[in-house]
Structure 1
Amino acid sequence: MLPDVQAALDWAVEALATSDTARLDSECLLADCVRQSRTWLFTWPDKILKDEQWRCFQQLVERRKAGEPVAYLLGYREFWGLTLKVSPDTLIPRPDTEDLVAKVLELIPLTEAKVADLGTGTGAIALALAAERPDWRITACDFNPGAVALAEANRKALGFEQVTVLQSDWCQALETDAVARGGFDLIVSNPPYIEDDDPHLSQGDVRFEPLSALTSGADGLDDIRLITLQAKVCLKPGGWLIFEHGYNQAGAVRGILSAAGYQDVQTAQDLAGVDRMSFAQRP
């Protein structure tokens, strides 16, 4: 006998009891299987599921129970009000990173600017900035060809013609462009910043995300060091470099920026009050 919406949700919540978000996960997965909104589920709790809907839901719940992230199961994630395709080629955009977008918008109040997003992944940061600043010229870079393809697909779906997606090992593909066109007003990056031996890498959703997008050396700062040096070639004098980083890395990142000769080195907090991003200006 096929269950109704409420019975199916109750079954899933019990199956996912070890998750802190069992109810939300269940609602999102069932809404996807029935091709309706979560509001529809609340409105029609006694609606009997079709056989293919019930089988779809059971399969997704079992995969979620094994730890697979909901965003990968659905194939998309909301970020800054945008619906972005996601895949195992990239990290899943986190809500914390929206604070990084907000800080970039605060640092560069210009109506026209040239900005680069390094390690763009899904394109989340670059596309969020494009949504807010249609006159900015934004270059989104990633080394992973799968991520480049995904970011380009998201760019096309959203219609942001002012964004260019490039394959690049951090700043390498930008250096000629920067010389030719006068440099960038700001470079933003949410790079890998987890220590190689961090025990959390074997726990939770991150088990399914690409390791190359998570880890960066013994202290998690290898890529931040590299970008800090490369970015000086691409930034205009007075241009900003801004990183997202781990909760306990602010002092170390400020030290890296200062040692490289950057000025006005600062750290800002996310909405939870955690040191989440550090930034500085090229002299």
Structure 2
Amino acid sequence: MILDALLARATQRLLQAGSASPRLDAEVLLCHALGVDRTWLYTWGDREPPVFERARFEALLAARALGHPVAYLTGEREFWGLRLATSSHTLIPRPDTERLVEAALAHASPPEGHLLDLGTGTGAIALAFASEQPGWSVVGIDQRPEAVSLARYNAERLAIGNVEFRVGDWFTALDHADSVERFALIVSNPPYIAADDPHLQQGDVRFEPASALIAAEEGLADLRHLASEARAYLVPGGWLLLEHGQGQGRAVRDALAAVGYDEIATLRDLGGHERVSLGRRVDSVTGEGRS
């Protein structure tokens, strides 16, 4: 069977299995099995695949038909133009999160500074920012050692040297005996899905780590915790930027206002949904941090 026919059959199989992007999934998996890019696939669609590579593709296709994420099957996903290694220990980087990177870059006005990425996972946010701001020092933290190892691997593979990754539960990796590290920007894409949300039984999230998805208080517990605790780790005038679910903007703005942030706003993603809320640390007594 030539490649064009193999792709057509695979696309139909994934369509029947409920894939939202059957043709793209089939192409990505076939490219991975053959070790080629999609341009090669389009050019040489009249060729027959070697026996071993076709068997490999059929195995990947069967796993995708069962719902396994393409990013886990291929072991990589592109984010902000960076090719990132992925694993089942981390969330799959998604385009919506690029909105958080854009917002962080928009608030990184000095040529040098310090950014903290909490719950870094693959390191996607930290690495995207660090690649655009080589004068900044970036720290990424995750409570899962497997995630931190993966983020470090991604940094090494991409040769991004102005970032480091640590194991810790939110801010615990920042407290030292005689000092506390402080940052001009703190960003996070924390767990924000309620435990009973039906979306947890759909699509790729069925296979992603629950600890990176689910939060108490209808998905708001970690967002509220970060809003409350981050002030102590921000320099005066520093910004906290939080990714959240499309219906959580008001609750996150309220959480930021309750602990004294200023210039609070919510930004929308490409789909028009509220996606990132942010606020600026201002000393309520002296007004330090105001421009």
Corresponding residue for residue 45 of structure 2? 45
The sequence identity of aligned pairs, in percent, is 47
Corresponding residue for residue 14 of structure 2? 16
Regions of 4+ moved over 6 Å: none
The offset of 1:232, in angstroms, is 1.3
**Unaligned runs of at least 5 residues, structure 1:** none
The offset of 1:117, in angstroms, is 0.2
Residues 192 and 223 of structure 1 are in contact (CA less than 8 Å); yes or no, is this contact kept in structure 2?
yes
The offset of 1:177, in angstroms, is 9.3
**Unaligned runs of at least 5 residues, structure 2:** 283-291
1:199 partnered with 2:198: yes
Residues 178 and 235 of structure 1 are in contact (CA less than 8 Å); yes or no, is this contact kept in structure 2?
no
1:4 partnered with 2:5: no
Alpha-carbon RMSD: 1.3
Residues 193 and 216 of structure 1 are in contact (CA less than 8 Å); yes or no, is this contact kept in structure 2?
yes
Provide Cα deviations, 1:222-268, integer angstroms capped at 9, x if missing partner: 11111122211111011100100000000000000111111111111
Provide Cα deviations, 1:204-228, integer angstroms capped at 9, x if missing partner: 1100000000010131011111112
Residues 126 and 139 of structure 1 are in contact (CA less than 8 Å); yes or no, is this contact kept in structure 2?
yes
Residues 180 and 233 of structure 2 are in contact (CA less than 8 Å); yes or no, is this contact kept in structure 1?
no
Provide Cα deviations, 1:157-187, integer angstroms capped at 9, x if missing partner: 1122210100111111123399355x21010
SS, match of residue 263 in structure 1:
strand
The 5 A counterparts of 1:1-283 are 3-17=1-15, 18-176=18-176, 179=179, 183-283=182-282
Deviates more, 1:171-180 or 1:41-50: 171-180
The offset of 1:115, in angstroms, is 0.5
Corresponding residue for residue 287 of structure 2? none
SS, match of residue 160 in structure 2:
coil
Deviates more, 1:12-21 or 1:205-214: 12-21
* Count of residues paired in the alignment: 280
Work out the CA distance in 1 between the residues paired with 2:39 and 2:65: 24
Amino acid at match of 1:6: D
SS, match of residue 95 in structure 2:
coil
Residues 191 and 224 of structure 1 are in contact (CA less than 8 Å); yes or no, is this contact kept in structure 2?
yes
Work out the CA distance in 1 between the residues paired with 2:53 and 2:137: 44
Corresponding residue for residue 288 of structure 2? none
Amino acid at match of 1:51: V
The offset of 1:87, in angstroms, is 0.2
Provide Cα deviations, 1:21-53, integer angstroms capped at 9, x if missing partner: 000000000011111111111101111111101
SS, match of residue 279 in structure 1:
strand
The offset of 1:62, in angstroms, is 0.4
